[in-house]
C-alpha cells in the first residue's frame, strides 16, 4: 500500500485541520444512557471536501456503499467493491477531524464467514483510518458482529430495508407491513444489539417498529425512513441537498443544490461563448 503525504499548509484541497477531539465509539454508545443527550447527527460522505464541509455539524460520517449509486451511477449497491470503500473512506478521514467515521462493508465482503469478515474489516480500518464498520443483516450476522467486536472492531448494525439484499427483496419498499415481517425486523434488531454492535441503523420500516426497537435495545438507533423517536438520524447528503430530482419519500430536501449548480454552469458557459471570461482579473500579464 502506497502512502500519500500532503502538505496541508499549501494544499487547497487539504487545509490544516482545526484543533479538536474526534468523536469516539464509546462516546456515541454512551448517548443511549444519557437522558439529556441530543439526537445523533449522521450524514453520508464520500470525498475529502465533502467531509470538510459536513464535519463540524455531524457526530458521525458514514462512508456508505450508497456511493455506488451516488458517485458511480450503479443501479444498486451490490457491485460496490472493498477497494471503492477504502479509497473513499480514506478521503473522508483525511477531510474530517471531529466526527466519528464509519465505513460500510460492501456486499460479499463479510457474509461468507466471520473470519473473512474480520480480514476485510481489519483491512478497511487499517487503510482508511476509520474507527468502525457497518454491515447489513440481523440474526444471520449476529455471530459475525460478536466475532468482530471481540477482536477490537466496532460495528454498526443495519436492519429493516437492507439495500444489499435487493435481489432477494425485489423492491425498496418499507419493511414490517405485516405481522411476520415486523417480528423479523424486531428479532434482527435485538440480535444485533445483543451481539455487541455499538449502534444500529434502522432503514425503511414502519414507524411503530422503529419506536419499539428504540425502546427495547440498549444501543443508539439511527433512523432513515424510520421514526423521529430514534436516537439519531442519517440521510444521504446528496439527497438532502437536492442534487437528485428523484429521492425516497423519507428524504427532506433542505436545498436545491442541483438548481444552483445548473445556473452557475449556464452563466459560465454563456461568458465563455461571449468571450467575457476570462477577464484581466483571471489572466497573467507582465508587471509594470
Rounded-to-integer distance, Cα 219 and Cα 149, Å: 14
203 in active site: yes
**Is 179 one of the annotated binding-site residues?**
no
**How far out from the chain centre does Cα 4 lie?**
24
161: which 3 cell numbers? 430495508
Element (H, E) at 221: strand 221-224
> What is the spatial distance between Cα 225 and Cα 231, in angstroms, rounded to a whole number?
13
What is the Cα 81 distance to its own chain's centre?
Answer: 16
Where does residue 123 rank: exposed (0-12), middle (13-18), buried (19+ CB within 10 A)? middle
Residue 136 labelled as part of a binding site: yes
66 is in an annotated binding site: yes
Q: Which of 127, 203, 212, 238 is catalytic?
A: 203
Q: What angle do CA 83, 87, 93 make, to 5 degrees?
A: 140
76 is an annotated ligand-binding site residue: no
Number of H helices, E strands in the chain: 11, 8
**Is residue 238 left, alpha or beta, with left meaning phi > 0 and alpha meaning psi from -120 to 50?**
alpha
For 176: left if phi > 0, alpha if psi spans -120 to 50, otherwise beta; the answer is left
- C-alpha dihedral sign at 271, 273, 279, 282: positive
DSSP string covering 179-205:
HHHHHHHHHHHHHHHHHT-SEEEEESB
Cα separation, 263 vs 169, in Å, equals: 39
Query: Does residue 65 have a known ligand-binding role?
Result: yes
CB burial readout 58-82, b (16+ within 10 A) else e = bbbbbbbbbbbbbeeebebbbebeb
Binding site residues, as ranges?
65-66, 104, 134, 136
Binding site residues for Mg(2+), as ranges?
65, 104, 136
Residues marked active site are found at 203
Binding site residues for 3-methyl-2-oxobutanoate, as ranges?
65-66, 104, 134
Amino acid at each position: 500500500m502506497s502512502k500519500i503525504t500532503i502538505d496541508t499548509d499549501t494544499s487547497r484541497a487539504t487545509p490544516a485541520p482545526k484543533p479538536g477531539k474526534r468523536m469516539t465509539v464509546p462516546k456515541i454508545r454512551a448517548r443511549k444512557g444519557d437522558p439529556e443527550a441530543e439526537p445523533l447527527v449522521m450524514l453520508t460522505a464520500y470525498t475529502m471536501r465533502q467531509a470538510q464541509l459536513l464535519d463540524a455539524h455531524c457526530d458521525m460520517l458514514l462512508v456508505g456503499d450508497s456511493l455506488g449509486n451516488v458517485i458511480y451511477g450503479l443501479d444498486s449497491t451490490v457491485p460496490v467493491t472493498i477497494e471503492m470503500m477504502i479509497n473513499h473512506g480514506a478521503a473522508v478521514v483525511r477531510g474530517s477531524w471531529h466526527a466519528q467515521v464509519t465505513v460500510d462493508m460492501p456486499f460479499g465482503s463479510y457474509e461468507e464467514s466471520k473470519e473473512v469478515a474480520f480480514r476485510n474489516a481489519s483491512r478497511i480500518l487499517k487503510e482508511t483510518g476509520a474507527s468502525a464498520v457497518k454491515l447489513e443483516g440481523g440474526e444471520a450476522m449476529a455471530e459475525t458482529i460478536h466475532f468482530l467486536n471481540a477482536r477490537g472492531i466496532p460495528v454498526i448494525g443495519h436492519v429493516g430495508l437492507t439495500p444489499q439484499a435487493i435481489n432477494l427483496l425485489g423492491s425498496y419498499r418499507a419493511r414490517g407491513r405485516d405481522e411476520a415481517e415486523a417480528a423479523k425486523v424486531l428479532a434482527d434488531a435485538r440480535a444485533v444489539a445483543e451481539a455487541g454492535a455499538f449502534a444500529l441503523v434502522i432503514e425503511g420500516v414502519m414507524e411503530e417498529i422503529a419506536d419499539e426497537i428504540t425502546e427495547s435495545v440498549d444501543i443508539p438507533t439511527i433512523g432513515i425512513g424510520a421514526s423521529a423517536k430514534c436516537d439519531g438520524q442519517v440521510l444521504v447528503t446528496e439527497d438532502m441537498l437536492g442534487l437528485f430530482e428523484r429521492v425516497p419519500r423519507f428524504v427532506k430536501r433542505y436545498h436545491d443544490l442541483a438548481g444552483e449548480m445548473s445556473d452557475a454552469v449556464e452563466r459560465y458557459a454563456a461568458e465563455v461563448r461571449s468571450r467575457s471570461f476570462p477577464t484581466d482579473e483571471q489572466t497573467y500579464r507582465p508587471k509594470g
